[in-house]
A and B are shown apart, each in its own frame.
Chain A
Amino acid sequence: TQLLEQSPQFLSIQEGENLTVYCNSSSVFSSLQWYRQEPGEGPVLLVTVVTGGEVKKLKRLTFQFGDARKDSSLHITAAQPGDTGLYLCAGQVRNTGGSNYKLTFGKGTLLTVNP
């Protein structure tokens, strides 16, 4: 069972376009993280959202956590080639007892921004 549904799986756009990546679940998350990963490197933490309804901005990236803490989105404005990479959402499901250290990952969104 995939706890975190991430979409789209692949996205190829032109420089300057906007895009949104979605992460949805039927489970409630204590917190949710977004990572970006470049080929051959480890994922880099972009943001953590904790509070339902929370919105965080990181330059041209806007992250939202759903009111019910079951979904999240990442919006990129005026994408640039440097934004190319694998975007991963990951979260901790509430009330998992000893598994609280486990991150549940979405399948990832492979973004290509063409110049």
Chain B
Amino acid sequence: DTEVTQTPKHLVMGMTNKKSLKCEQHMGHRAMYWYKQKAKKPPELMFVYSYEKLSINESVPSRFSPECPNSSLLNLHLHALQPEDSALYLCASSLKPPTYEQYFGPGTRLTVT
């Protein structure tokens, strides 16, 4: 089973709202990732958690706040977003070396109004 699940599938939020995106995997993977993807562009890395600790933050604005409650769950808390933050938000996970191949979830389509 190589499934990563994400909820919700779609989200519309106003610029003053607070919402959260959720990601779950039960493959025993110890690295989890958040990516942002604009249409017809490659995913852009936002955050990496390794063994439940934040290991990479790609200079993401503080209005995005990641959380890893346990090895299977990853959240992305959203607050005071801008319309330009509208995108497909992808979660991924990977096992360990040597290949680090990442498995992606189906994404959350976020629209900020």
Contact = CB atoms under 8 A, between A and B. Distances in A.
A50 B99 contact: yes
Contacts of B99: 30-31, 33, 48, 50, 92
Task: Summarize B's interface: helix, strand, loop or mixed.
Answer: strand
Interface in B63-102: 88, 90, 92, 94, 97-102
Given A44-B104, A48-B101, A105 B55 contact: no
Interface in A58-108: 86, 88, 90, 92, 98-103, 105-108
Contacts of A99: 56
A19 interface: no
Contact of A41 (B33, B98, B106): B106
A69 to B, nearest CB: 13
B105 A42 contact: yes
Q: Which of B50, B94, B102, B105 has the most CB of A within 10 A?
A: B102
Given A31-B100, A42-B105, A101 B42 contact: no
A31 B99 CA distance: 6
A108 B101 contact: no
A101 to B, nearest CB: 5
A113 interface: no
A11 interface: no
Contacts of A108: 40-42
Contacts of A115: none
A35 B92 CA distance: 13
A43 B103 CA distance: 8
Contacts of B45: 102-103
A103 B58 CA distance: 13
Nearest to B30: A101
B40 to A, nearest CB: 6
A98 B97 CA distance: 13
B50 A101 contact: yes
15 contacts: A31-B99, A42-B4, A42-B90, A42-B104, A45-B102, A45-B103, A92-B100, A98-B56, A99-B56, A100-B100, A101-B48, A101-B50, A101-B55, A107-B42, A110-B40
